[in-house]
């Protein structure tokens, strides 16, 4: 194939059995299981196991996996010291990429990364490192939240679930059970989404047989961009700019006339409403009902979606996962600059699953290009130019 496709749109980059989406029907599955069913019935721990190992676990398998995640939540004090030296004004994603990149130095390895046969030492290494990284991602994000406001990190608790422990460390308070379940569901919804930009970055880095700390660090850096994971922060700013639900329609008309981006609207793959956005909207309703009040941001978002229904839906532009996730996190009390870090915690399961798949049948990525430069030409000394 020699035709140039900007952004590699529509160009298959790999074969995978991890996840599937049908953008015309709004279907997303992990290992064949619909995201709706997983969100309503599973846990993040079980979903992570599914993504990493390929099948839903039996009771004993899930218990062992969950125990391993709990046992590996703590990090070396040296990593905490590295974090202490970072400026508190820095973005949490910058901290996260730095901290994750450093993990390999504290957990060195000389086992080849490439898996050649099931159960070999490389597969055992990949499995072990996947558990360690997944367990520590939530710890790092929660540690930073406390450290940047001048507090010591909160020690993880092994008696809490993955999501509940994250919230406990993040806020230094045991979470409300409903909020813990909402966070658990959010983790499930963000855990995987086929070959997106950050997953592709992880695959390319993994294809060089780099250590997993490099692989996940590369993915984190890619996720940080506003056209990928950073869009949910922009949604909050956008809704605050609109101010009130009654302003939504005129605001939208002005932005569209100026050809400006409507954050949280539209997706390259989905031509209908993102199924994750539908589930997040449902969670927001549930939280509002429990609190007995509807957030002004949520009301404004609903009004904006209604306005977009008239002008953008005919073009196949609907809310994506970022449209409601930021509002939900904001209502839980999470600062907007931590939204993408939470996205990264959840997506780590998907990144690691694709890393494992890549190194199980590896070939280094080496795409070609369409050259648009000069034909070969003679060099002229400076005096003759």
Choice among 190, 193, 267, 354 that is catalytic? 267
Q: Report residue 261 as tokens.
A: 């981006």
pLDDT single digits (tens) 231-265: 888 899 999 999 999 999 999 999 999 999 899 89
- pLDDT score recorded for residue 1: 53
**Dihedral sign from CA coordinates of 83, 89, 90, 93:** positive
Known active-site residue 72: no
Q: Collapsing DSSP states into helix, strand and coil, what is residue 27?
A: strand
The alpha carbon of residue 19 and the mean position of all alpha carbons in its chain are separated, in whole angstroms, by 15
pLDDT single digits (tens) 35-54: 999 999 999 999 999 999 99
pLDDT single digits (tens) 288-302: 999 888 889 999 999
CA 367/CA 357 separation, integer angstroms: 19
- pLDDT score recorded for residue 239: 93
Instruction: Name the pTM for this structure.
Output: 0.93
- pLDDT score recorded for residue 231: 82
Burial of 380 (0-12, 13-18, 19+ CB in 10 A): exposed
pLDDT single digits (tens) 193-220: 999 999 999 999 999 999 999 999 999 9
Q: Collapsing DSSP states into helix, strand and coil, what is residue 155?
A: coil
Choice among 322, 337, 375, 378 that is catalytic? 322
Known active-site residue 267: yes
Bigger pLDDT: 4 vs 374? 374
Domains and their CATH numbers in the chain: 31-223+340-360 (1.10.580.10), 231-332 (1.10.230.10)
- What are the start-end ranges of the H helices in 107-230? 121-147, 162-171, 177-189, 197-207, 212-223
- pLDDT score recorded for residue 200: 96
Could you tell me if 138 and 48 are in contact, meaning their C-beta atoms sit under 8 angstroms apart?
no
Q: Collapsing DSSP states into helix, strand and coil, what is residue 30?
A: strand
261 C-beta neighbours (distance < 10 Å), count: 13
The alpha carbon of residue 371 and the mean position of all alpha carbons in its chain are separated, in whole angstroms, by 34
């Amino acid at each position: 194939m020699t035709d140039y496709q900007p952004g590699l749109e529509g160009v298959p980059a790999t074969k995978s059995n991890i996840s599937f989406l049908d953008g015309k029907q709004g279907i997303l599955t992990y290992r064949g299981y619909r995201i709706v069913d997983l969100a309503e019935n599973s846990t993040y721990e079980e979903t992570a196991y599914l993504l990493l190992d390929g099948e839903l676990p039996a009771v004993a398998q899930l218990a062992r996996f969950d125990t391993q995640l709990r046992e590996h939540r703590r990090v070396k004090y040296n990593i905490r010291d590295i974090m202490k030296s970072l400026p508190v004004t820095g973005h949490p994603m910058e901290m996260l990429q730095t901290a994750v990149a450093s993990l390999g130095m504290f957990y060195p390895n000389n086992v080849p990364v490439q898996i050649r046969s099931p159960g070999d030492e490389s597969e055992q290494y990949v499995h072990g490192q996947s558990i360690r990284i997944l367990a520590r991602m939530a710890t790092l994000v929660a540690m930073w939240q406390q450290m940047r406001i001048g507090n010591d990190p909160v020690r993880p608790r092994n008696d809490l679930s993955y999501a509940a422990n994250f919230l406990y460390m993040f806020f230094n308070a045991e979470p409300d059970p409903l909020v813990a379940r909402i966070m658990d569901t959010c983790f499930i919804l963000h855990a995987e989404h086929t070959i997106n930009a950050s997953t592709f970055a992880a695959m390319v880095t993994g294809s060089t047989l780099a250590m997993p700390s490099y692989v996940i660090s590369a993915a984190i850096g890619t996720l940080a961009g506003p056209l990928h994971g950073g869009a949910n922060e922009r949604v909050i700013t956008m809704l605050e700019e609109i101010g009130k639900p009654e302003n939504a329609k005129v605001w939208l008309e002005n932005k569209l006339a100026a050809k400006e981006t409507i954050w949280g609207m539209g997706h390259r793959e989905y031509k209908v409403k993102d199924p994750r956005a539908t589930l997040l909207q449902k969670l927001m309703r549930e939280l509002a009902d429990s609190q007995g009040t509807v957030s002004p941001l949520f009301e404004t978002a609903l009004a904006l979606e209604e306005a977009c229904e008239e002008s953008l839906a005919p073009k196949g532009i609907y809310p994506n996962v970022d449209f409601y996730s930021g509002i939900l996190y904001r209502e839980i009390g999470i600062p907007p600059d931590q939204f993408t870090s939470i996205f990264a915690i959840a997506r780590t399961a998907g990144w690691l699953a694709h890393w494992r798949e890549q190194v199980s049948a590896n070939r280094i990525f080496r795409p070609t290009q369409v050259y648009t430069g000069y034909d070969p030409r003679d060099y002229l000394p400076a005096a003759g130019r």
